[in-house]
Structure 1
């Protein structure tokens, strides 16, 4: 890291540039490659000022690449290595294809299949896939396999909402505030509102989520779609807001968390069994590709930040550490939206009515 900082400073002093050509990083290692990727993502999301001098180019093998299947592995390597692949048919990136390059695919496959080669190492070093920390909830290939940013959720479609938020933090970066939606008909998860502090630590002590913007997002969601359920973790900071939302919108939903508080769905407070089941339901849907998502930067980042934790002996989601700047609130909101969707499906909400055919004699 010290060498990187020195090179970066020296390049800036002479108006020069430098190139980083690493293997795929492992999330949570705080490597130079991870920091650069996070900096680029922050610029794309608008959380940091744009640096026109950064060109970020990352190409990895498709998430469905099967290391044990030679055809699948060859296709994944050809895509990851691009025009450097020595495959006799040339590269798969251009039409017409470039001539064979210098990277020996047969040797790469032999190394991948070597019993001493760790799977995670093979994925990062040869397929250029950003995988996951050992205690990660979901891996990047698993999550990206479900990405479908081209899907459109039309007005008046039946959806569910999930909410998780924070009002500030005594120490470290404040937690984020997130409102995530899920279409009932097919389980497409999409981001409605995510608000979090930027990466400048000087602003953290005074940061607060934009309550007016959040209220506007909730109002817009209820006016645009048919909201079947809204599950919100009130926590210690949001119960009065959740109660106000219940008073305003509670009569509009057909699925209620409970009779007295239709939106309250606590992620704490002796509900570890219910929380574990909700987490496992979305986890299973992702790993079986039974859902899709919009691929939004913030939602993806929060899902990949989430770590597996134990609470009262049950699965829970947590950050990598108590004061980590890597937030997971959108991931929690997605779990709540997915659980709300499951409850709606179980009650038959959003199911298209059967058409009755009559024979006319």
Structure 2
């Protein structure tokens, strides 16, 4: 029979409750020699419910790939070690619903020889999970009840095994692991074999309906780590740029306005990031009623921020779990999140400026995006009108020339521009005309005379971001950078806009710092950031021309 249906709002079918009970009944708490049971925290229990969620009709697992991101010391490694033991021994393979409509499972060994892997790029990293896993397996009656032979380097099952594996292994390609944990994937890169190992482990699990869990700390954008690629895969799904399914991302970080120089703000940020593991005397502040006090020494961690030998960016990533920025990034993720305001809404008829940066197609690599951004005159709120990007999984149509790349839907872009003029009171429009010269000329003919602020008399919309205008470009970038750092503007927080801001890199030219992609063929685009800079500069020029004063006089308010 099918699932019984939700008994409380938000309930969904899952084997997570069973796995939670199994862990408490069978696993020992690592680091203890008294046989105390391993009891997952509320945060860990919530993750289990999501990871083992089932389809209410088919009863199949919905999640095959998960990313659990928490700060160092939160307890990711012991927790994923407990999951590895459950995958090796417990009834985690969905087997329909019982007569009461409750989900039931069966063990992997009823289907095939279960192989469970604890993977990392170095042996030292595998120890993070492997050592507490051994302690959990040896501490209670698990060995006797399930026939485990627990050795220092491998756990033999009656059928199958649990073992650590590194990127130096040569036999992973054909290794049919039903479950694998991938630890510290923010450090898994091409150079150390981590990207290849992750790809192989995912493919192995997919072949037999298995699953993997990554447990990274905050990654550094631009390094190409496995954690960064996995987060990008998930974001592409949310944005509709990928048809992939079955990815669970559970990431918690300190609020973006956490002030590392203010002890009260810092402690609050650390307590939020560490959640249930925080040693807050009143218990975890994330749940009601609060959880018991955890083990992470928050007051001790604050002292690391006063040690001048520590790099602030490392502290943000390791302890606040904040995804910050590459060394040459224009803006950090906390800076961008700090100016995000999802509650603001720009309504029809409001005075705005527009910014546009376009592309067409390219025969090699990923085509640059095309972006149309708006900026409200009254308060400088930047919002996304349209961002057209090559879909992540785009392929040439059947019979199409594989040398022909994806093309921007020009008609959609033109319609969006026309709709923006019809919807809002557009008082200025700056557009980089590269590859769109004829269309920019048409826009100037159609709307140029009505614009209250113009780039030049002869070309009211045309605003080149290349060529001989380097000094103007550098100045515009500097003004936009100041507006972000000083929080003089807000943004709508749209995923594409935020991603393009974080993709932007600083590059020194003869005239000063300019904005560029990580490299010319980078698939990580910045066009929405460029369009936003143009919209912001147009607003500044409107204010300088007195247009803002006109608005104040028109509506009798204060600006």
TM-score interval for Structure 1 and Structure 2 normalised by the shorter chain: over 0.9
State how 1:200-215 maps to structure 2 within 5 Å: 200=393, 202-203=395-396, 205-215=404-414
- RMSD of the TM alignment (CA)? 1.5
- Conserved in 2, the CA contact under 8 Å of 1:173 and 1:201? no
Q: Who is 2:274 aligned against?
A: 81
How big is each residue's C-alpha offset from its partner over 1:292-340, in whole Å with a ceiling of 9 and x where there is no partner?
A: 0100011111110000112333221100001100001110000000000
State how 1:68-147 maps to structure 2 within 5 Å: 68-147=261-340
Question: Closer, same or farther in 2 for the Cα pair 1:209/1:187, shift >3 Å?
Answer: same
How big is each residue's C-alpha offset from its partner over 1:242-287, in whole Å with a ceiling of 9 and x where there is no partner?
A: 0011111112211111111110011112111110111111111110
Q: In the aligned structure 2, how far is the partner of 1:168 from the partner of 1:44?
A: 24
Larger Rg: 2
3-state SS of paired residue (1:352): helix
Question: Larger relative CO (CA 8 A, sep 6+): 1 or 2?
Answer: 1
State how 1:313-332 maps to structure 2 within 5 Å: 313-332=511-530
Q: Who is 1:189 aligned against?
A: 382
Displacement, 1:50? 3.9
Displacement, 1:65? 1.0
Q: How many corresponding residue pairs?
A: 354
3-state SS of paired residue (2:234): helix
- Conserved in 2, the CA contact under 8 Å of 1:303 and 1:330? yes
Q: Who is 1:353 aligned against?
A: 553
- Conserved in 2, the CA contact under 8 Å of 1:272 and 1:315? no
Q: Who is 1:231 aligned against?
A: 430
Q: Who is 1:290 aligned against?
A: 488
Q: Normalised by the size of structure 1, how large is the TM-score?
A: 0.94
Q: In the aligned structure 2, how far is the partner of 1:283 from the partner of 1:173?
A: 27
Q: In the aligned structure 2, how far is the partner of 1:267 from the partner of 1:44?
A: 31
Q: In the aligned structure 1, how far is the partner of 2:278 from the partner of 2:471?
A: 49
Worse overlay, 344-353 or 25-34? 344-353
- Conserved in 2, the CA contact under 8 Å of 1:82 and 1:91? yes
3-state SS of paired residue (1:90): coil
Alignment partner of 1:168 is 2:361: yes
Can you give the 5+ residue segments of structure 2 that lack an aligned partner in the other structure? 1-194, 397-402
Can you give the 5+ residue segments of structure 1 that lack an aligned partner in the other structure? 357-361
Q: In the aligned structure 1, how far is the partner of 2:501 from the partner of 2:470?
A: 20
Q: Who is 1:359 aligned against?
A: none
3-state SS of paired residue (1:23): coil
Question: Closer, same or farther in 2 for the Cα pair 1:162/1:128, shift >3 Å?
Answer: same
